[in-house]
Structure 1
C-alpha cells in the first residue's frame, strides 16, 4: 500500500487530535489508554513511512523517465554525428579521388580546404596551407612572359568585379620550384541570403611541363616569324635583282673613266651587302636549302679562326678545345662556317675589354629528355656539339629565349645592326636537323652549343667552283616570265646585250598563251616561281603539256630545297637561278641550259 500526499495530509491532523485527547495525567492513565496512544503513534509512523515511500517512488519514476529521454537524445546525437562524419569522409574520399586539384577559400581569400591532388600539385600539405592566402600557395605565372599572375577569382572576392565563373590557363609554381601548366576554373560560393562567402578553385595538370610549354610557344612564334622572314627575303631579292641588273646595264653604257662608274660600283656593292642580309633571312626562315655533304667540323672551325683572327680585337685571345674523336657531320660547310662566324662575332662584341674566345667540339648522345625540351624537332642519337664560349658580360636569363628572334636585339647604337646574325644561326641549325643550347650568367660569360647529327659515314667534300665574271654570249629565243616589271625590263636588256632575242610575259596566263601561239619557237623559258594568279608551278605544268622538251630555268627570290628541285625536274629539262643574280652568272646558266659550253 502506498499513501498519497493528499491522504497523508488528511490523516495527520486527525491523528494529532486523537493524541491530544489522550493527554491525561500520568497517574490516571491506564493500560487501555497507553495502548491507544501507542496505536496512534504507530499509525502516525506508518503514515509517514507510506508518504515517504510514495514520494520516493514518484521521484524515481520521474528520474527514470528523464534518463530515458536523455539517452534517446544522446543516441540521436550520436547517430547524427556518425552520419556527419560519414558524409565528411565520403566527401573527402571523393575529392581525393578526383584527378583535379580543389581548393576552397573563405571571403578573405584564405584557404579552408585542399584535396590530395591540390597538395601534390602545389607542394603544400593541407594542414600547412590552411588559413594562408591563396597567392601564397597557388602561385601562378603567365605562360608566355613568366610574370606572376593573381588568381582571377580574387578580384571577385575583393569586390573589384562582379562574381562569376572564371577559366584560365597558367603556369603553376609549386612549393618545391617545379612548374607545370594548369587549366583552372574558379566559382564563387553563396549562402542562403545570396551573400558571397568564399570561392572554389578546380585546376587540372595539363600534363605539359612549364618549360616544355614555353618551348612550344617559342617554337610556334619562331615559325611565324620565319614565314614572315622568308616572304620578306623573296620580295627583297626581286627588288635587288632589278637594281643590280639596272646598275650593270648603266655600267656597260658609260664611257671608261667616267665618275659615274664609282657610283654604279657603290650601288652594286650595296646590293651585295643587301643580298647577304637576305641570305641571312632565308637561312633563318629555313628556306635556304643546304648543299649537304660530309665535312670535317674541325676543318671548318680552323677556317673560321683563320678568317676572323685579323678582324678580332687584339685583346681577345682565341683558343681551341676540339675533342670530338670523329668530327664528321652531314652539312653545308659554307652555312656551318657562317653560323660559327656569327657566334664568334657576337661573342667578341660581348667582350669590349677583351677576354677569351674558345671554340670547342665533342661527340654527345642526346636522349629523349633533351630532345623533348628542345624547341627544335630532333631525334635522340649521336651528335657533334660545336661550342663557342666567351668570357664576356653574359646575358640575363629572361632574355635567353629571345636571342634568336630576328625582331629582338640587345644592340642599341645605330651602327650596330639589328642582330640578324643569331637569327641566321637558328635557321642554319634547323635546316640541318640540329639543335641549340645556351648557357649564360650576367658577368660570367656565355656558351652557345650547336648540335649537328653525326654523319653515318665519311665522304670527300666536293670543291666549290668559284663563279666567273666572264660574260658568255649566245643565240636563241628566250621567254622571260616575271610579274615584276623592272626585272622583265632589266632582264630583256641583259639578255639582248648577250645576243638573245627576248619575249616577255607578266604572268603565267600570258606565258601559256605565248607558247600556244608560237609552238616550237622558244629555246628557253626563264620562269619566276612565285606570281599572282597562275604561279610558276602551274605555269610550268601547262608549258610542259604544250612543249615537253623546252628547257625551263626557274628564277626565284625564294630558295628551293633539294626535294622541291627534284620534284619540279621530273617534268623535263630544268635549271635554277637564285635572285638576285649578276649578268655573268646569268649568262653562264643560260648557256648551260641551252646546251652550250660555258
Structure 2
C-alpha cells in the first residue's frame, strides 16, 4: 500500500471536524509503573483512597498539540490560550473519566473510550466522549498518543429529555397519590398503579386484564356505599363513547369494614394515540375533604345545639348520631365528673354488653374512665393491651377488645370523658380516631359550659329534664312568661293565648283549682310542689297532668321566677286502672279454679250417694224419680263447673265436633240465671244442622260476653235480648264482604239488644284490648277483644251494627261442619254396659266421704276395694300387699303426697299396675306427661260410680286381651 506523506496527515489533523489532541502519556505510565512496582495492584482503589496521588499523576499529562476543531469546541483563540486555561477545561467533574483512562493504561490496554464532562472557556458545560487507540502490537510510544474528543452534549440532552419524560410519566403514574388505571375503549385494564390498589384494597393482579366494571363490582362487595354508585358497564361504555376531549367526573362515598368514612372522585380522561384511544381513570381520595366537612358539620351541629337543644340527652344523641358518620359508635358513652362529690356519672350510655350506668369514684384504681379523667389524657387500647390489663386484674366492667376515650376539658379542668369501644374487633380505632374525638370533645365541653353558665337556659333545661314535657314559666307575680310547644299540644291552647295571662287563666278543673291555690302559696314561700291536677283542654276534654312547680331563687335569695313542668298522664292512669281490672280478673280465674276443686269433691259425693240411694229404690217409684232429679241437677252443676273452668282458662282449649244450638241453649240458660228480671231473652233457632268444630267452653264465652254487654247497655225496664242461630250460604259476590272467610256455608249467631247503642266514632275500637266505655265496676275492656280472638281462631267472622238509642246487633259466622257420614253420638252407652267385676281395687282420696261412697259403690258391683284418705297409709298397705292389688284409683291433689308422685312410687314396686288419676282441677301434670309416667287413664270430677267402674273395666279387660 502506498504510504501517505506527513503533509497529508497534517492536513487531516488540521481539517478534522472532530476534536483531536496529541498527548504525552509517558510520564503517567512511568508513575503508574512505580506504583505497581510497590505492589499496588488496584490502581483505581488506590487513587480513590488517595485523591492527592491521582492529582499528582494526572498533572504529568502533557498536551503536545490540538487541532482547529478543538479550539472551536472549547472557544479558544489559540492553542496557547487553551493550554493556559486547561484547569478550566478539565475540572473535578472530569476526574472520573480521566481516572478510568489512567486505569486503562495501567492495565496495558491499547484503546479506551469513556464519557465525561468538560467546560469550554466561556464556562459552558460539555458532555464529551473521549477515546484513544494505540496502533500496532509492538513497543508503544506513549509520547504521541492521538486522543479524540466528541461533543455529545446535544445527543445526551435529547436522550436524557426522552428518558426523563418516560421516567417522569412512570414516576407520576407509580408515585401519584391518586389511583390510576389505563383502560382500553372496550373497558379492559392493562395498567394500574399502587395508589389505586391502596384505595380499593384490590391487588394489581386482581385488576389487570379485567373489565373495569367487574373491578368496581368486586370493590362494592367490600364496602357499604353511602351514595349510590353508578359505575356499571353501561355507564363506562357510554362515557367512553361520548368523550371527545375533556373529562367526566363522578364522586361517591362509603364506609369501610371499620365504619370509617371514605370518599373517591373518579375522573375519566381520553388519551388519543396513533392506535386505539385509551382512557385514564384517575381516582382521587377525597376522604380527607369529606371527613373534614363531616367534622365541620359535627362541630356546627354541636355549636347549634348549644343554643337550641331542649336537653342534654338530646345533645348527647346528636353527638352520637353525628360521630356515627365517621367512626363506629355502636358502643358509646359520655361520662361527667363532679369534683365536689368526686363521682363520675354516665348520663349517656349506649352499650350492647353493659347497661350498668352506676356512678364510680374518680379515684377508682382500675376504671379506665377514672384514669382518663384523673390523668386528663386520651387512652387508646388494642386487644393485646386490654388482655394484659385483664390478666393483671386492672380492668373494670365488661371486657371489650378495643377501647378509645378522650377527656372533656374546659379551662384546663376535666369535666368528663367521651368513650367508644368495640366488643368484636381489636383494631377498630386508631390514632386518627383519637384526634377526631379530641376535636369533638372541645365542643362538648364548651356546650356543657355554655348551658351551665346561662342560668335562664339552665332553668329551662332543668324544667324540661324534671317534667319531661310541658313547661310554663311564671313571673314572681304569677303571670305566664313562657309556654313551650309541648304544653300547647297538650292543652290545645296556643302560646299567644296564654302569654301575660295570670295563673288563674289556666283552665283547671274546679276540683283542682284549690290544689293549685295551695301549690302557689307553697311555691311563693320557696317550697316546691308536686301533684296531679285535672285540666280542661280547649276542645273540652279533661286530662290529668302530673305537675311539678318549683321556685327559682336568684343569687340574692329572692324569687326570680316560677317554673311548672307537666306531663299528660291520662293514658298512664287509664292503663293502671285497666291493669288492676285485669289482675282482678286473673285473681277471679284462680279463685274459680280453687273453688271448682273443692266443689267437685262435694258434688262427687252427692252424685255417689245419690246413686247408692237409687239402687235401694224401686225403679219408677216417686222416691226413685226424686233421686233421678237430684242426679240431673248434679249433672247441671257439673256442667256449670266446667264452664267456670273454661272461663278461668284452666282447661285446655280442645276442639271437638259439637251441636252449636245445644251449646247456645245451654249458655242462654246460664245467662238467664244472673240477668235482671227486667231483661227478657227471646230465642230463635232456625238451623236444621248446627254442627261445628269448636271449643265448647269458648262458645259459652261468646254468648256470655254478648249477653253481659247487652245487660250493661240496657238502661230501661223493658230490656230485650234476641238470640238467633241460623244457617247461611254465601255466593261469590257475598264473599267479597267477608275476605277472612274461606267457605260458603256458615252458622250465624245473632245477638240483638234494645240498649243505648254504640257511637259511630267508637266502632273502630270496640275490639281493642282494654277499650271500654263502662265504669270501673262494670268491665275490663277485654270481653269483646276475647270474643274477636275466639272467632278468629275458629276461622269465622264477626260483624257489628248499631244505632244510638235503638240498640246493637252482633253477628258471628262460624264454619258449618259437613261430614260425608254422620254418626249420632250415644252418651248413654256406658249406662247399659256390664261394668261389674271381682278384682282388687285401691281407692285413694283425701276426702273421706268420697272414699266411703265410691268404696261402697264399687263393692256393690262385685269389686274388692281398699279405701284410704291418707296417701301415707296407702303406701304402707301397698308395700305389704302390692301383689293383691289389680288397679289403683287416686286423686291428684292430696296432703303429704300428690297422686302423681304416689303413682310413680307404686309403679317402681309394680311396674304394670293400671292407674287411674282423678282430678277436679289441677295444673300439676298434663295428660301427656302423666301417660309418659305410666298413668293409664284420667277421669274428671265429679263422676258417677258407673263412669268410674266403666273406666276400671276397660283398663282391666284391655290388660287381659
TM-score range, shorter chain: 0.5 to 0.7
Residue of 928, 935, 945 corresponding to 1:583? 945
Q: Equivalent residue for 2:601? A: 238
Q: Equivalent residue for 1:30? A: none
Aligned counterparts, 1:353-364, within 5 A: 357=723, 363=738
Query: In structure 2, what is the Cα distance between the partners aligned to 1:199 and 1:330?
Result: 67
Q: Residues 175 and 188 of structure 1: is their aligned pair in 2 closer, same or farther, counting only changes over 3 Å?
A: same
Query: In structure 1, what is the Cα distance between the partners aligned to 2:798 and 2:585?
Result: 14
Residue of 853, 861, 865 corresponding to 1:498? 861
Q: Equivalent residue for 1:525? A: 888
Residue of 460, 466, 489 corresponding to 2:827? 466
Matching of residue 537 in structure 1 with residue 912 in structure 2? no
SS at structure 2 position matched to 1:567: helix
Q: Residues 90 and 340 of structure 1: is their aligned pair in 2 closer, same or farther, counting only changes over 3 Å?
A: closer
Q: Residues 427 and 281 of structure 1: is their aligned pair in 2 closer, same or farther, counting only changes over 3 Å?
A: farther
CA deviation vs aligned residue, 1:485-528 (integer Å, no higher than 9, x gap): 11111111111111112222324433333332333332222121
Q: TM-score normalized by structure 1?
A: 0.58
Q: Equivalent residue for 2:421? A: none
CA deviation vs aligned residue, 1:164-201 (integer Å, no higher than 9, x gap): 8777789998656899997x463553879999999755
Matching of residue 254 in structure 1 with residue 623 in structure 2? no
SS at structure 2 position matched to 1:553: strand
CA deviation vs aligned residue, 1:417-437 (integer Å, no higher than 9, x gap): xxxxx89x9799499699999
Aligned counterparts, 1:106-117, within 5 A: 113-117=482-486
Q: Residues 328 and 154 of structure 1: is their aligned pair in 2 closer, same or farther, counting only changes over 3 Å?
A: farther
Check the 8 A contact 2:552/2:559 in 1, yes or no: yes
Query: In structure 1, what is the Cα distance between the partners aligned to 2:725 and 2:544?
Result: 37
Q: Equivalent residue for 1:118? A: 487
Q: TM-score normalized by structure 2?
A: 0.39
User: Aligned-pair distance for 1:557?
Assistant: 1.2
Query: In structure 2, what is the Cα distance between the partners aligned to 1:541 and 1:291?
Result: 27
Q: Residues 199 and 337 of structure 1: is their aligned pair in 2 closer, same or farther, counting only changes over 3 Å?
A: same
Residue of 767, 774, 788 corresponding to 1:399? 774
SS at structure 1 position matched to 2:884: coil
Matching of residue 223 in structure 1 with residue 583 in structure 2? no
User: Aligned-pair distance for 1:226?
Assistant: 0.9
RMSD over aligned CA atoms reads 5.8
SS at structure 1 position matched to 2:882: coil
Query: In structure 1, what is the Cα distance between the partners aligned to 2:740 and 2:572?
Result: 23
- The number of residue pairs the alignment matches comes to 461
Q: Equivalent residue for 1:128? A: 497
CA deviation vs aligned residue, 1:299-350 (integer Å, no higher than 9, x gap): 83698589989x99999585999xxxxx998632x33553455467669976
Query: In structure 1, what is the Cα distance between the partners aligned to 2:526 and 2:846?
Result: 59
Query: In structure 2, what is the Cα distance between the partners aligned to 1:387 and 1:174?
Result: 43
Query: In structure 1, what is the Cα distance between the partners aligned to 2:776 and 2:801?
Result: 11
- Structure number with greater Rg is 2
Query: In structure 2, what is the Cα distance between the partners aligned to 1:108 and 1:464?
Result: 85
Matching of residue 565 in structure 1 with residue 927 in structure 2? yes
Check the 8 A contact 2:903/2:935 in 1, yes or no: no
Q: Residues 174 and 213 of structure 1: is their aligned pair in 2 closer, same or farther, counting only changes over 3 Å?
A: farther
Query: In structure 2, what is the Cα distance between the partners aligned to 1:537 and 1:503?
Result: 19
Q: Which moved more, 1:357-366 or 1:478-487?
A: 357-366
Query: In structure 2, what is the Cα distance between the partners aligned to 1:132 and 1:364?
Result: 58
Aligned counterparts, 1:320-331, within 5 A: 331=694
Matching of residue 300 in structure 1 with residue 660 in structure 2? yes
Q: Which moved more, 1:129-138 or 1:272-281?
A: 129-138
User: Aligned-pair distance for 1:87?
Assistant: 5.0
Matching of residue 100 in structure 1 with residue 100 in structure 2? no
Query: In structure 2, what is the Cα distance between the partners aligned to 1:158 and 1:320?
Result: 72
Higher relative contact order (CA 8 A, sep 6+): 1
Query: In structure 2, what is the Cα distance between the partners aligned to 1:507 and 1:566?
Result: 26
Q: Residues 163 and 223 of structure 1: is their aligned pair in 2 closer, same or farther, counting only changes over 3 Å?
A: farther
SS at structure 2 position matched to 1:520: helix
Query: In structure 1, what is the Cα distance between the partners aligned to 2:840 and 2:800?
Result: 55
Q: Residues 91 and 440 of structure 1: is their aligned pair in 2 closer, same or farther, counting only changes over 3 Å?
A: farther
Check the 8 A contact 2:724/2:751 in 1, yes or no: yes
Q: Which moved more, 1:199-208 or 1:528-537?
A: 199-208
Q: Which moved more, 1:214-223 or 1:94-103?
A: 94-103
Check the 8 A contact 2:891/2:919 in 1, yes or no: yes
